C-alpha cells in the first residue's frame, strides 16, 4: 500500500517539475508561439532539389509545411543540397554473399529570410537505415527502394523539426 502512494507521489512531483522547467509542445495550443510555428512553416518556399530522391524529399516537405498550397508571397526560401547517399554491405557470408546492406543519406539545408536575403538557419540532416539483400533481385530492389524512401521521410522529419525549433525560439 505504501508503495502505491510513493509511486503516485513520484508521478505528481515529476509532472510538477516538467511544467516548471519551461517544457511546452511545439505544435500544441500552448506551444512557444501558439499557432506561430505552423503558420511560419507555411511561409517557406521549398526550392527544387535535383534527382528523384531530391524531388521525393521536396514533396515530403511540401506535404508537411503547407495545408492549402504553396505560399503566394513567401517570407523564407529553403535551399537543400543534393542528397548524398552511401550504400555499405553489412553482413557478408563465408561465400562472400551480402545478406544485409545499409543506406546512409545526408544533406545540408539553409533557410534564407527573403526580406534580408540572409541565411537564418544552416543545418544538416542524416538518416541511416538497413535492408535485407535477398536471393531474388526484384525483392532486393523493392526492399532497397522502400528503405530509401523511409530514409528520405526521416530527412524531411528532421528538417521540419529543426526549422520548427528555430521558429519556436523566435517567438
Which pLDDT belongs to residue 72?
85
Q: Which residue, 167, 139, 168, 148, is CA-closest to 60?
A: 148
Q: What is the mean pLDDT of residues 49-74?
A: 89
* Measured distance CA(93)–CA(146) in Å, rounded: 24
Asked if residue 18 belongs to a domain, the reply is no
Asked if residue 153 belongs to a domain, the reply is yes
Asked if residue 10 belongs to a domain, the reply is no
Which pLDDT belongs to residue 90?
75
Asked if residue 4 belongs to a domain, the reply is no
Domains of the chain: total:
1
Asked if residue 160 belongs to a domain, the reply is yes
Asked if residue 7 belongs to a domain, the reply is no
pTM of the model: 0.76
Answer whether residue 161 shows pLDDT above 70: yes
User: Domain span at residue 86?
Assistant: 27-170
pLDDT in tens, 82-120: 999 998 887 666 566 667 889 999 999 999 999 999 999
Asked if residue 2 belongs to a domain, the reply is no
Question: Which three three-digit cell numbers place residue 10?
Answer: 513520484
Q: Which residue, 140, 122, 120, is CA-closest to 130?
A: 140
CATH number at residue 46: 3.30.160.150
Asked if residue 82 belongs to a domain, the reply is yes
Q: For residue 146, what are the contacts with CB-CB under 8 A and spacing of at least 6?
A: 131
Which pLDDT belongs to residue 135?
81
Amino acid at each position: 500500500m505504501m508503495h502505491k502512494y510513493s509511486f503516485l507521489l513520484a508521478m505528481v512531483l515529476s509532472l510538477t517539475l516538467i511544467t516548471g522547467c519551461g517544457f511546452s509542445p511545439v505544435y500544441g495550443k500552448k506551444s512557444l508561439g501558439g499557432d506561430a510555428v505552423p503558420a511560419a512553416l507555411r511561409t517557406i518556399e521549398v526550392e527544387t532539389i535535383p534527382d528523384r530522391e531530391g524531388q521525393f524529399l521536396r514533396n515530403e516537405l511540401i506535404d508537411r509545411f503547407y495545408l492549402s498550397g504553396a505560399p503566394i508571397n513567401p517570407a523564407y526560401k529553403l535551399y537543400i543540397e543534393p542528397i548524398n547517399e552511401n550504400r555499405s554491405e553489412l553482413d557478408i557470408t563465408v561465400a562472400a554473399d551480402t545478406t544485409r546492406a545499409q543506406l546512409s543519406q545526408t544533406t545540408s539545408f539553409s533557410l534564407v529570410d527573403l526580406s534580408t536575403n540572409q541565411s537564418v538557419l544552416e543545418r544538416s540532416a542524416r538518416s541511416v537505415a538497413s535492408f535485407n539483400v535477398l536471393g531474388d533481385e526484384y525483392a532486393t530492389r523493392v526492399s532497397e527502394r522502400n528503405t530509401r524512401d523511409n530514409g528520405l521521410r526521416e530527412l524531411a522529419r528532421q528538417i521540419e523539426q529543426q526549422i520548427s525549433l528555430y521558429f519556436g525560439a523566435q517567438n
